[in-house]
Structure 1
Amino acid sequence: MRSCAAEFVARATARHRLPLDYSVASLRVVDFLVDGLRKGGAGWEQVRETLFGLGAYVGEVLVRRAGAVWVDFDADQRTYFGQPVGVRMPDGRIWNPLGKVRNRFDLGGPGESLQTFYLTLHGRGRRAVA
């Protein structure tokens, strides 16, 4: 997933000067990007790959800034989360950044903010890796 996030950032920043630097503050940019897709009237199928890339990016921010590690979900977790992968936090909790991006797209609003998701996330460690 790390390479998926890096490829997404390379594509997204090649055309636009987006501050996708894996910082916590950059998650606000992700909020704006998802909101723009929503407001543009795009359907899920039209933006599926972009949302997956954004979810990989959000997960990679959790890896780099909160001490998470990428994990493949088992069959029950795949069914529950509707995604193949997620992150495990230092305290052992499992989170679904791909699904969180999907929720932001489907539901919108401040309650689905990705930056707020990070800031209120349980199980974060204090680790900053470039």
Structure 2
Amino acid sequence: MRRYAVGFVARVTARNRLPLDYSVASLRVVDSVVEGLRKGDTDRERVAGTLFGLGAYVGEVLVRHAGAVWVDLDAGQREYFGQSVGVRMPDGRVWNPLGKVVNRFEAGREESLQTFYLLLHGRRSRERSS
């Protein structure tokens, strides 16, 4: 998934000059992009590839800043999350950044990706990440 996220960022930033630098602050940019897709009155199926790429990006931010690792989900997790991959946090919890982006698209601002990161259970504490 890391390669996919990096390739997605390279494609989107080349065309749109989006500041996707894998920082936690850049999740605000992702929120804005998803909000723009919503306001465009776009059918979710037509933007599915973009949502997937943004989900990979969000997951990669979790990997780089919260101590997560990409994992293949087991059958029960795949059924629950509707995805084949997710991230495992340092405390063992598994999260679904790909689905979280879809939720942001469908539900709007109350599903903020930046807030998701800031309230995320199981992320590495600042003291240990330094």
Is TM > 0.5 for Structure 1 vs Structure 2? yes
Distance across 1 between alignment mates of 2:10 and 2:17: 11
Deviation of 1:39 (Å): 0.5
Letter in 1 for 2:40: G
**Deviation digits for residues 95-116 of structure 1 (CA, Å, limit 9, x no counterpart):** 000010000001102x200000
1:10 partnered with 2:19: no
Deviation of 1:63 (Å): 0.1
Which shows bigger deviation, 56-65 or 118-127? 118-127
Q: 1:116: which partner in 2?
A: 115
Any stretches of 5+ residues in structure 1 without a counterpart?
Answer: none
**Deviation digits for residues 55-89 of structure 1 (CA, Å, limit 9, x no counterpart):** 00000000000000000111110000011110000
Deviation of 1:17 (Å): 1.6
Q: What SS does the corresponding residue of 1:86 show, helix, strand or coil?
A: strand
TM-score when normalising by structure 2:
0.95
Number of aligned residue pairs: 127
Distance across 2 between alignment mates of 1:39 and 1:4: 26
Distance across 2 between alignment mates of 1:15 and 1:81: 31
Distance across 1 between alignment mates of 2:103 and 2:16: 25
Letter in 1 for 2:83: Q
Q: What SS does the corresponding residue of 2:90 show, helix, strand or coil?
A: coil
* Two-structure CA RMSD over aligned residues (Å): 1.0
Distance across 2 between alignment mates of 1:13 and 1:93: 31
Distance across 1 between alignment mates of 2:61 and 2:47: 21
Letter in 2 for 1:34: V
Q: 1:57: which partner in 2?
A: 57
Distance across 2 between alignment mates of 1:85 and 1:104: 18
Deviation of 1:15 (Å): 1.1
Q: What SS does the corresponding residue of 1:80 show, helix, strand or coil?
A: helix
User: Share of identical aligned residues, percent?
Assistant: 76
Q: What SS does the corresponding residue of 1:19 show, helix, strand or coil?
A: coil
The runs of at least 4 aligned residues of structure 1 exceeding 3 Å deviation read none
**Deviation digits for residues 14-33 of structure 1 (CA, Å, limit 9, x no counterpart):** 01221100000000000000
TM-score when normalising by structure 1:
0.95
